[in-house]
């Protein structure tokens, strides 16, 4: 099959979150299954020079956008059997960050049109156009309703929701100006929702199938609590809503071959993990102690991630127990200040790195003992998968993909790979964390938990096969 995917970010070229990791890994796995995969993303100026140097200008495309003739370059980069195409237009994508620009509606409307121009210009049309999140969610609507794309109107479409919270809400005027479609689409509620143009809602309404990134999250978003005010629409599409669990790129995240960590290791020589723990402690300026549990969190600092839970739990834990904690992340100012304050209050126990450092993230996964994920909701979560791959034990809240992948440890069976709280059932996070810490003091059990995690299959192979079956059913 021929599949064209479109997204706003893609690892390793441009990354803001988990969407990029999916776009960097899933297409490669689909290619291994024998399919022809093309991935279209914006050519941001923040893409590293090492990749830019390898890009080849494929063509320059001129088309009408907002009543004017616009031009974009299409740059090609082939990797692992996947054709990556980058849409270049400096006025929209020469920015120092991916999201959060005042003209995001216009930027991604332009990108949607550019993707459709690429689809239309293919000698052999794709079997499926697979779009991701709100930034590309209007593509199925434009494909079906704009007569300029009549030649490819029959192409099947899929939308993957990576996080329902982000929907691309804009005013009626913004819709009319940037999407160049007739007013009745808005007035009749076809593209509008709760008083705004809603890009994600538009995509959900028009695509042939909607997927999301874990089976549990699929069920959760059908409820009012998790549905972000789109639950009634999703309930109408329930038969076409499928949950497929994300995987991780096991080539990138492999402790046996990872050159970003201090010492490679695998499940057969777990003692080498201690070398990485000492490297983290050295970098963080913390006492180099192998007997003290090292906790970490690598995260966007937002309400979704349960930082409020850690505000309640961590100060008492650090005051009462011999533990260390290292944070890598950035986000809301109030949360950054909380962690900075924690480091000031506990200088020999806490280290905070505000920002992101890919190499340090790998070292933390390899060197930490326990990974904290108290998320209030988590569509899939990749950090718990990566941490288990590196023998780091997750303590997570039972929601979304965390519920699907973290299995509570059973000491009688020596089964399970982590520990779970359940905020919906009043099972507090500190209880789960203390349960985890109690097993840290029992080497036989602790080794079993780590090995159970490391021996899990977190690759994309099973999930990619599910996507391939979905494409086949569609066409």
Q: Do the domain assignments include residue 261?
A: no
Confidence class for position 95, pLDDT limits 50, 70, 90: confident
CB hemisphere CA count around 223 (13 angstroms): 9
Residues 331 and 240 in one domain: no
Domain range holding 174? Answer: 2-247+461-474
Q: Is the pLDDT of residue 354 over 90?
A: yes
Question: Which residues sit in the known binding site?
Answer: 15
Q: Is the pLDDT of residue 127 over 90?
A: yes
Do the beta carbons of residue 157 and residue 141 sit within 8 Å? no
Residues 219 and 105 in one domain: yes
How many other CB atoms are there within 10 angstroms of residue 80's CB atom?
A: 14
Q: Do the domain assignments include residue 146?
A: yes
Mean pLDDT of 406-410: 98
Count of domains forming the chain? 2
pLDDT tens digits for 273-329? 999 999 999 999 999 999 999 999 999 999 999 999 999 999 999 999 999 999 999
Residues 326 and 195 in one domain: no
- pLDDT (0 to 100) of residue 143: 98
CA distance 135 to 38: 18
Q: Do the domain assignments include residue 252?
A: no
Residues 436 and 343 in one domain: yes
Mean pLDDT of 323-352: 98
Mean pLDDT of 345-350: 98
Residues 467 and 448 in one domain: no
Q: Do the domain assignments include residue 264?
A: no
Residues 94 and 237 in one domain: yes
Q: Do the domain assignments include residue 388?
A: yes
Q: Do the domain assignments include residue 258?
A: no
Residues 226 and 362 in one domain: no
Q: Do the domain assignments include residue 94?
A: yes
Q: Do the domain assignments include residue 79?
A: yes
Question: Secondary structure of the chain in the HEC alphabet?
Answer: CEEEEECCCECCCECCCHHHHHHHHHHHHHHHCCCEEEEEEECCCCCCHHHHCCCEEEEEEEEEECCEEEEEEEEEEEECCEEEEEEECHHHHCCCCCCCCCCHHHHHHHHHHHHHHHHHHCCCCCCEEEEEHHHHCCHHHHHHHCHHHHHHCCCEEEEEECCCCCCCEECHHHHHHHHCCCCHHHHCCCCEECCEEEHHHHHHHHCCEEEECCHHHHHHCCCCCCCCCCHHHHHHCHHHEEECCCCCCCCCCCCCCCCCCCCCCCCCCHHHHHHHHHHHHHHHCCCCCCCCCEEEEEEEECHHHCHHHHHHHHHHHHHHCCCEEEEEEEECHHHHHHHHHHHHHCCCCEEEEECCCHHHHHHHHHHCCEEEECCCCCCCCCHHHHHHHCCCEEEEECCHHHHHHCCECECCCCECCEEEEEHHHCECHHHHHHHHHHHHCCHHHHHHHHHHHHCCCCCCHHHHHHHHHHHHHHC
The enclosing domain of 286 has a CATH number of 3.40.50.2000
Question: Which residues sit in the known binding site for ADP-alpha-D-glucose?
Answer: 15
Residues 299 and 237 in one domain: no
- pLDDT (0 to 100) of residue 341: 98
Residues 340 and 219 in one domain: no
Mean pLDDT of 214-227: 98
Residues 285 and 194 in one domain: no
Residues 435 and 470 in one domain: no
- pLDDT (0 to 100) of residue 475: 93
Confidence class for position 402, pLDDT limits 50, 70, 90: very high
pLDDT tens digits for 7-54? 999 999 999 889 999 999 999 999 999 999 999 999 999 999 999 999
Whole-prediction pTM:
0.95
Residues 199 and 276 in one domain: no
């Amino acid at each position: 099959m021929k599949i064209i995917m479109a997204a706003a970010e893609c690892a390793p070229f441009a990354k803001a979150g988990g969407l990029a990791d999916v776009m960097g890994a899933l297409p490669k796995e689909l290619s291994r299954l024998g399919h022809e995969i093309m991935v279209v993303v914006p050519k941001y100026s923040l893409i590293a020079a090492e990749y830019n140097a390898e890009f080849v200008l494929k063509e320059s495309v001129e088309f009408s956008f907002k009543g004017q003739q616009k031009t974009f370059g299409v740059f090609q980069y082939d990797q692992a059997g996947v054709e990556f195409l980058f849409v270049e237009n400096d006025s929209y994508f020469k920015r120092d960050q991916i999201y959060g620009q005042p003209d995001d509606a216009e930027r991604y409307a332009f990108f949607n049109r550019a993707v459709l121009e690429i689809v239309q210009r293919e000698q052999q049309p794709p079997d499926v156009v697979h779009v991701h999140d709100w930034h590309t969610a209007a593509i199925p609507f434009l494909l079906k309703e704009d007569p300029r794309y009549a030649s490819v109107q029959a192409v099947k479409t899929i939308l993957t929701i990576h996080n329902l919270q982000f929907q691309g809400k804009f005013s009626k005027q913004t819709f009319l100006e940037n999407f160049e479609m007739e007013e009745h689409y808005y007035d009749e509620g076809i593209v509008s929702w709760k008083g705004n143009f809603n890009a994600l809602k538009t995509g959900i309404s028009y695509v042939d199938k909607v997927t999301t990134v874990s089976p549990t999250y699929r069920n959760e978003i059908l409820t009012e609590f998790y549905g972000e005010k789109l639950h009634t629409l999703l309930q109408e599409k329930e038969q076409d809503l499928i949950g497929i669990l994300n995987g991780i790129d096991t080539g990138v995240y492999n402790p046996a071959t990872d050159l970003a960590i201090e010492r490679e290791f695998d499940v057969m020589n777990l003692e080498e993990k201690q070398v990485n723990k000492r490297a983290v402690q050295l970098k963080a300026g913390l006492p180099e102690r192998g007997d003290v549990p090292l906790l970490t969190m690598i995260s966007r600092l937002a309400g979704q991630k349960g930082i409020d839970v850690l505000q309640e739990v961590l100060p008492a834990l650090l005051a009462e127990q011999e533990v260390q904690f290292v944070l890598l992340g950035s986000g809301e100012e109030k949360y950054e200040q909380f962690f900075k304050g924690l480091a000031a209050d506990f200088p020999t126990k806490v280290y905070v790195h505000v920002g992101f450092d890919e190499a340090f993230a790998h070292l933390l996964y390899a060197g930490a003992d326990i990974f904290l994920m108290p998320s209030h909701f988590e569509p899939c979560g990749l950090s718990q998968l990566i941490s288990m791959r590196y023998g780091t034990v997750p303590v997570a809240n039972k929601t979304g993909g965390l519920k699907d992948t973290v299995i509570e440890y059973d000491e009688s069976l020596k089964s399970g790979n982590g520990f779970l709280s359940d905020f919906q059932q009043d099972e507090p996070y500190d209880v789960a964390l203390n349960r985890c810490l109690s097993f840290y003091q029992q080497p036989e059990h602790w080794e079993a938990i780590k090995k159970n995690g490391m021996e899990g299959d977190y690759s994309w192979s099973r999930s990619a096969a599910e996507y391939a079956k979905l494409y086949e059913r569609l066409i």
